[in-house]
Structures are given as structure tokens and as C-alpha cells.
Amino acid sequence: MFPKWSNRATVGVVLGIVFVPAYVGLLLAYGAHPTTLYVGYAPEQPVPYSHAQHVGKLGLDCRYCHFTVEKSAVAAIPPTEVCMNCHTAILPNTAKLGEVRRSHVEGTPIRWVKVHDLPDYAYFHHAAHVNAGVGCSECHGPVQQMAVVQTVQPLSMAWCLDCHRNPESRLRPRDQVTNMEWRPPEDSAARAALGRSLRDKYHVNPNTDCATCHR
């Protein structure tokens, strides 16, 4: 009654019914897995670098080390030469910096462990957010207080979409983006007015369609 190819089509439909939901389920499970949404993830690094010391106490600007954040999609991990700008003179022989000295002498990079690790299927552009007035602390938290960097936000799709739909409360003047102590006005009306003003000034109109982040 039916042509022979219909048998193959039936098999394809059955396999689709079985495997497509399973595939979608695996994607959702991966997206919600603790290693993806692990707030508080603080891996041990090959060098015990303290942001509390360098940023909080010494006042080092984020851009001294992460010097590409205003122009690149990624926030650069500084080459060892940046560390040695100071540490050729400051604590040059401390054991804690042994890996830094080895890297500098051998010309091989330090194998830092990535903390804020987005899935490969999610696209994020650092410069776009920095130039829109989104402060470092909005995503990375109070790193000036962290002896060991950890995640403080889930970096989930829902969390990102909440900001894209209502960006005003996350905006600040561009010259305050790397100021970890910056705070918006306490008065709610003034805070809302500042957010609206900055959104207009920086032309912040974030998209929420799928292709914005999934390319």
C-alpha cells in the first residue's frame, strides 16, 4: 500500500520522537548543571593572586591587567610581563611567585583556571557591555574583597535576559565602570532617572532574540 521509502521515514520519525527530546533534555541539564551555574565556584590557581590585595588595598585598576576589556570581546589574561612590571622589584624572590618567575624565564604562559566559564554556545562581548556602562562588579561581584576570585552570579540565560530587558539599574557612567566602590544614588527616583539618562546617552537597546547570544 505504501512505498518502500515510507518504512525509512517511519523509522526516522520514531527516532526523532525518541532522540530530539533526549537531546534537548541534555542541553537543558548541561545549562543548569552546577559547573555551569555554580555560584561560589573558586578554583585553586597556580599562583595565589589576591584581588583583595592588588585591587582593594593597592587600588590597581582592572584595566591594568585586563587591558582589552574596552575594545575586545574577551577580557585578556595578562601576560607574565605585566606581573613582572612590579615584581622584578617587589617581592622578587618570594616562593609564592615561583610560577611567575618560571613563566617569565621560559616564555611559557601560566595555566590559570578559568572562573567565569560560559558555555561554547553562548556569545558574550566584553567591550560591548563595558562601553554601555555596565560595571565590572555587576557580573564579577566585589572582586576588590576577594583573596580568591569566585563566581557570584549564575550567568544563566534567565539572568542575562533580565538585564537585557531592564538594563537601567545596571548602568553607571563609563568612567566609573572599573570603580569597584561606585554606588548608585540611594534615592530611588534619582537612581531610576540616572539609569534612564545613561541608557539614552549610551544608546543602550539590548536585543533579546536568540541570535544575539547564540550565533
In this predicted model, what pLDDT tens digit does every residue of 107-159 receive, in sequence order? 999 999 999 999 899 999 999 999 999 999 999 999 999 999 999 999 999 99
Per-residue pLDDT tens for 82-109? 999 999 999 999 999 999 999 999 999 9
Q: Do 62 and 18 share a structural domain?
A: no
* Residue 91: predicted pLDDT: 96
Can you tell me which residue has the cell 557580573? 139
State the angle between helix axes of 80-87 and 98-106 in degrees (0 to 180), rounded to the nearest 10: 120
Asked if residue 99 belongs to a domain, the reply is: no
Q: Do 197 and 155 share a structural domain?
A: yes
Per-residue pLDDT tens for 150-193? 999 999 999 999 999 999 999 999 999 999 999 999 999 999 99
Q: Do 28 and 44 share a structural domain?
A: no
Q: Do 116 and 32 share a structural domain?
A: no
Where residue 22 falls among pLDDT bands split at 50, 70, 90? Answer: confident
Instruction: Note down the domain range covering 165.
Output: 40-77+112-213
Q: Do 119 and 18 share a structural domain?
A: no
* Residue 20: predicted pLDDT: 74
Q: Do 173 and 208 share a structural domain?
A: yes
**pTM of structure:** 0.80
Distance CA 57, CA 144 (A): 8
Neighbours of 193 (CB within 10 A): 13
Q: Do 158 and 139 share a structural domain?
A: yes
Q: Do 154 and 56 share a structural domain?
A: yes
* Residue 166: predicted pLDDT: 97
Q: Do 137 and 46 share a structural domain?
A: yes
Where residue 17 falls among pLDDT bands split at 50, 70, 90? Answer: confident
Separation in Å, CA 178 to CA 42, 102, 123, 157: 21, 30, 22, 24
Q: Do 158 and 55 share a structural domain?
A: yes
Q: Do 201 and 158 share a structural domain?
A: yes
* Number of domains within the chain: 2
* Residue 88: predicted pLDDT: 96
Distance CA 90, CA 93 (A): 9
Q: Do 137 and 163 share a structural domain?
A: yes
**Mean pLDDT calculated for residue range 19-28:** 70
Type of residue numbered 207: N
